[in-house]
């Protein structure tokens, strides 16, 4: 793709493609250590995605160990996909330990709404002020208390409908809220919403497409004090790699394999050239 810097329009908002590209370069230089308390379905995929992009995964999800690890981790992901009792305990202690140590952390409220246990746990975790809350439209609407949730782990709502819910969640908890969809919306506690228009529907045809993105956000959040930039840069790098993989894939199976290759091959320059940021959501 040809890109002429001089002919580019001015950056669309507080986040620029150049800032996102630089953050990917920083990630490669830093190799952030990401503690994941995540679901049984996506654990292996998530660890491989982190390794492929240039981070280091650690699936430390035992009570007692989770609080010990969070202060030494670069970033923490708490994902409620298959929330066993011990995992819920581990998440609560990891959130507290991360907050005490200043470790950024990401909450992914998978399938909240209809299911009481995870919904209550998600509300408790949200009140502990995650750095970033990441979910699909139905999850964000349900966590904000505005809807009943999706169909299992999948969204039945459009991201547009989730924008108001995301704004209210973001200001309530002081978190950046990232809503995934065809255009991902990244919503700060106050100020301008950033849209990332990159991506491919194939990301919704493999399990963990959203869950692994949460882990990548935790990696990026360790690199900057600006969680809006971190969430946008993570989403941009992730969805650009997905586009490259989709161009080579025959279907979901080969997509997943090509996706790991594309994450590893993605260069900061690809982000600078290919990122499609939007401001007016």
Ligand X SMILES: Nc1ncnc2c1ncn2[C@@H]1O[C@H](COP(=O)(O)OP(=O)(O)OP(=O)(O)O)[C@@H](O)[C@H]1O
Smallest separation, CB 215 to ligand Cc1ncsc1CCO (Å)? 12
- Reported as type and span, the H/E element at residue 77 is strand 75-79
Q: Pick from ligand Cc1ncsc1CCO, ligand X, none: which does 82 bind, CB < 5 to 8 A by kind?
A: ligand Cc1ncsc1CCO
User: Where do the H-state alpha helices sit in the chain?
Assistant: 17-30, 43-53, 65-69, 85-101, 116-127, 137-143, 159-173, 209-221, 227-246, 252-265, 268-274
Distance between CA atoms of residues 226 and 248, nearest Å: 34
* 106 sits near ligand Cc1ncsc1CCO (criterion: CB under 6 A): no
Least distance CB 208 / ligand Cc1ncsc1CCO (angstroms):
6
Is 184 a binding residue for ligand X by CB under 6 A? The answer is yes
Span between the terminal Cα atoms of the chain, in Å: 26
DSSP 107: E
Is the CB of 57 or the CB of 188 nearer to ligand Cc1ncsc1CCO? 57
Does the protein bind ligand X through residue 126 (CB under 6 A)?
no
Binding mask 205-244 for ligand X (x = CB under 6 A): --xxxxx-x---------------------x--xx-----
Q: How far is the CB of 182 from ligand X (least distance, A)?
A: 4
Q: Which of residues 173-202 bind ligand Cc1ncsc1CCO (CB under 6 A)?
A: none
Among 207, 254, 276, 278, binds ligand Cc1ncsc1CCO (CB under 6 A): 207
Query: How far, in Å, CA of 276 to CA of 24, rounded?
Result: 16
CB 234 within 8 A of CB 213: yes
Contact between 110 and ligand Cc1ncsc1CCO per CB under 6 A: yes
Phi, psi dihedrals of residue 177, rounded to the nearest 5°: -115, 125
For the chain, the farthest-separated pair of C-alpha atoms sits apart, in whole angstroms, at 55
Which residues sit at the interface with ligand Cc1ncsc1CCO, rule CB under 6 A? 39, 41-42, 81-82, 110, 153, 207-208, 211
């Amino acid at each position: 793709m040809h890109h002429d810097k001089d002919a580019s329009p001015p950056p669309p908002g507080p986040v620029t493609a150049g800032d996102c590209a630089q953050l990917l370069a920083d990630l490669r230089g830093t190799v952030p250590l990401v503690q994941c308390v995540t679901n049984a379905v996506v654990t292996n995929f998530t660890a491989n995605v982190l390794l492929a992009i240039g981070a280091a995964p650690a699936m430390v999800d035992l009570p007692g160990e989770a609080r010990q690890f969070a202060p030494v981790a670069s970033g923490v992901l708490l994902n409620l996909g298959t929330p066993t009792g011990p995992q819920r305990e581990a998440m609560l202690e990891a959130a507290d330990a991360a907050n005490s140590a200043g470790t950024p952390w990401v909450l992914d409220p998978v399938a909240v709404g209809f299911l009481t246990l995870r919904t209550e746990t998600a509300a408790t975790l949200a009140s502990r002020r995650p750095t970033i809350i990441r979910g699909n439209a139905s999850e964000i609407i349900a966590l904000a208390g505005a809807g009943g949730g999706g169909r299992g782990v999948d969204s039945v709502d459009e991201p547009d409908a989730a924008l108001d819910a995301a704004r209210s969640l973001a200001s309530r908890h002081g978190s950046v809220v990232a809503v995934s969809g065809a255009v991902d919306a990244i919503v700060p506690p106050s100020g301008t919403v950033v849209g990332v228009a990159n991506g491919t529907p194939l990301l919704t045809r493999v399990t963990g497409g959203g869950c692994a993105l949460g882990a990548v956000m935790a990696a990026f959040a360790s690199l900057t004090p600006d969680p809006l930039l971190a969430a946008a840069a993570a989403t941009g790098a992730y969805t650009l790699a997905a586009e490259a993989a989709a161009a080579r894939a025959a279907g979901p199976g080969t997509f997943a394999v090509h996706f790991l290759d594309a994450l590893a091959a993605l260069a900061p320059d690809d982000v600078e050239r290919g990122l499609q940021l939007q401001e007016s959501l």
